[in-house]
Every structure is written in structure tokens, then in C-alpha cells.
Structure 1
Amino acid sequence: MATAATPAFDTETLRRGVEGNTAQTLLSLYADDARMRIVDRNTQPSHPKILEGRNEIASMLDDVYGREMTHKLEQCVIQDDHAAYVESCEYPDGVRVLAESMISLRDGKISDQILIQAWDE
């Protein structure tokens, strides 16, 4: 009797999504009910920005990918139903952003993400 394999998280799609010019590829990796918590200088750990659902995440990603900047996936580690990755970004004026994410996976899709980011000031 054959068993159905759980879909694997696609790191190549993650790379294409992070390094691409639009949010669509990256958005395809999120579950419909995904949740993202963002911690940075403006939304500190005691009051993170919380995005609930794929539509709210899409709005944020559309804003980010609508800016003139480059994105690079630096590292990605996957273990069971969790993954972590580092993304570096740069604006044309040289301002850099570094972001680290810890994600929980369900059926090969991102169901929960904690994003911590810092940028040059």
C-alpha cells in the first residue's frame, strides 16, 4: 500500500520568489491562512506588526516588491516542518536591509513566519 508523501517546501521557488521582481512567486509559498509577525525598529517585539492571511501578506509583499531594490536569498535551512532563511536587500542609493525569517510549514506551504529586519540608517 502506497502512502501519500507530504509536499516538500520548495527552496528553489523561495529563491526565485525572494530574488524576483514581483511578489507573485513568493506569495505562492504561503497558505491561505498564513500569519506573519514582523519585528523591526518601528514594530518592536512587544508590539510586532501582525499580518493575518494571504491577502494581508500579499499587500505587504506588493509594497516591498514595488520598490526599486534588489533582493538576495543568502541562506536557507530546512528541518522537518520548519525552515529559516536570511535575505539581504539593497536600494539604489546603497541603503541595505537584512532580514531573517523563521517559518513553520504545513503541507509544504508557509503557515507562520516571524520576520526580523534591520536596515541602514
Structure 2
Amino acid sequence: MGTAAGPGFDGEVLRRGIEGQTAATLLSLYADDAEIRVVDRNTQPSRPMVLHGRTEIGKMLEDIYGRDMSHKMEQCVVQGDSAAFSESCLYPDGVRVLSESMMSLRDGKIVQQTMIQAWDE
């Protein structure tokens, strides 16, 4: 497990945001014009879910952090204007979710993120 910090973007703040109880800290890391592409069983690579801007991203994060589940950042690497992290989540009934994200950064904020996620079914 490693976390590197680059100028303007701090992997430990990302960890606190992911592992926190609300979406606020995590949302603060996104630029106003950020974009997230989500690829999973329901939104496959040819038709990913794409969210534009902090408002849409915030709605997704509020939904996620409104659920009864825990989040853990497993690993994070920050290098220059790029970052990547692995996250694991656990619902109380034992269902697990894993996600991998690759991000582009500008001025210490996330401007583009591609997230690939899988969960127990």
C-alpha cells in the first residue's frame, strides 16, 4: 500500500474523502468542469455512464455515501498530473465492491476520471 503526494494533490486527502462518512471531502477534490466515466456490468465500455461537472458528480457521491456500506482506499499513486487508486467497499450483508480509477489532474483537482467497478452478485 502506498500513497504519493504531488504538488497540489494529496493522496491522504483522497483517502480521507473515500473513507469518510459523507461525500463532501471527496467532492472537494473535483474541478468544476470534471468528468467521470463509469464502466461496470450495467454501463459497459461502449456505453459508459458519463457524469459532467461537480453537480452531477455530487449527486452520484451523495447516493453512494447515503448507503450503509464502508469504503477503503487500498492503494493510491500520484505522479505529475495523473493519479490512480483502488477502492474496496463492503455492505453489511457481506456484498463486496471493488473499483479501480485512473484520473487526470489540473491545478491539484481531478478533471477526468475513469472508474471500473465490479461487485458480488
Same fold (TM over 0.5): yes
Shift of 1:7: 4.6
Matched with 1:95 is 95
Q: Which moved more, 1:9-18 or 1:55-64?
A: 9-18
Shift of 1:79: 1.1
* Residue identity opposite 1:104 in structure 2: S
Q: Distance in 2 between matches of 1:110 and 1:7?
A: 13
Matched with 2:55 is 55
**Unaligned stretches of 5+ in structure 1?**
1-5
* Residue identity opposite 2:117 in structure 1: Q
Q: Distance in 2 between matches of 1:37 and 1:58?
A: 14
Question: Is the partner of 2:104 in helix, strand or coil?
Answer: strand
Q: Distance in 1 between matches of 2:90 and 2:73?
A: 12
Shift of 1:30: 0.2
Question: Is the partner of 1:34 in helix, strand or coil?
Answer: strand
Shift of 1:12: 1.2
Question: Is the partner of 1:33 in helix, strand or coil?
Answer: strand
* Residue identity opposite 1:22 in structure 2: T
**1:25-62 deviation per Cα after TM superposition (whole angstroms, max 9, x unaligned):** 00000000000000000000000000000000000000
The answer to whether the 8 A contact 2:11-2:77 is kept is no
Matched, 1:117 2:109: no
TM-score under structure 1 length normalisation: 0.94
Question: Is the partner of 2:73 in helix, strand or coil?
Answer: strand
**Unaligned stretches of 5+ in structure 2?**
1-5
Question: Is the partner of 2:32 in helix, strand or coil?
Answer: strand
1:43-82 paired onto structure 2 within 5 Å: 43-82=43-82
TM-score under structure 2 length normalisation: 0.94
Work out the percentage of aligned pairs sharing the same amino acid.
Answer: 71
**Count of residues in correspondence between the two structures:** 116
Matched with 1:29 is 29
- Give 4+ residue runs of structure 1 displaced > 4 Å after superposition: none
Question: Is the partner of 1:112 in helix, strand or coil?
Answer: strand
